[in-house]
Amino acid sequence: MSTSLNVLVCGANGFIGSRIAAALLQAGHRVSCGSATRLRTDLPHVPIDFARDTDPATWLPRLQGLDTVVNAVGVLRDSPRRPMRAVHTAVPAALFEACAQAGVRRIVQISALGIGRSDDDNPTQYAHTKRAAEAALEALPASGPSWIALRPSVVLGPGGDAAQLFRTLAALPLLTMPGPALDAKLQPIYVEDLARAVAVLADPGSPCRGVVEFGGAREMTLAELIATLRSARRAGTARAAQLVRLPAWMGVLSARAGDFLPGLPWCTDTRVMLELDNVASNAPLAEWLGRAPRDLRDFAAEL
pLDDT, average across residues 189-195: 98
Question: Residue 245 above 80 pLDDT?
Answer: no
What pLDDT is attached to residue 240? 53
Q: How confident is the model at residue 1 (pLDDT cuts 50, 70, 90)?
A: low
What pLDDT is attached to residue 32? 96
Question: Residue 47 above 80 pLDDT?
Answer: yes
More confident residue, 265 or 134: 134
Question: Residue 141 above 90 pLDDT?
Answer: yes
pLDDT, average across residues 165-188: 82
Question: Residue 251 above 80 pLDDT?
Answer: no
Question: In 8-30, which positions are buried (b, 16+ CB within 10 angstroms) versus exposed (e)?
Answer: bbbbbbbbbbbbbbbbbbebebb
Question: Residue 263 above 80 pLDDT?
Answer: no
- How far apart are alpha carbons 94 and 58 in whole angstroms? 9
Question: Residue 101 above 50 pLDDT?
Answer: yes
pLDDT, average across residues 16-28: 97
The string of pLDDT tens digits covering residues 62-99 is: 999 999 999 999 998 888 889 999 999 999 999 999 99
pLDDT, average across residues 4-20: 96
Question: Residue 270 above 60 pLDDT?
Answer: yes
- HSE of 213, CA atoms in CB hemisphere, 13 A: 13
- How far apart are alpha carbons 190 and 167 in whole angstroms? 15
pLDDT, average across residues 42-70: 96
Q: How confident is the model at residue 174 (pLDDT cuts 50, 70, 90)?
A: confident
| Average pLDDT of the residues of the chain | 90
Question: Residue 230 above 60 pLDDT?
Answer: yes
Question: Residue 237 above 60 pLDDT?
Answer: no
Question: Residue 238 above 50 pLDDT?
Answer: no
More confident residue, 245 or 80: 80
pLDDT, average across residues 216-223: 94
Amino acid (1-letter code) at residue 238: A
Radius of gyration for the alpha carbons in the chain, expressed in angstroms and rounded: 19
Q: State what percent of residues in the chain have pLDDT above 70.
A: 95
Contacts of 291 (CB under 8 A, 6+ apart): none
More confident residue, 255 or 222: 222
Question: Residue 7 above 70 pLDDT?
Answer: yes
- How far apart are alpha carbons 104 and 19 in whole angstroms? 22
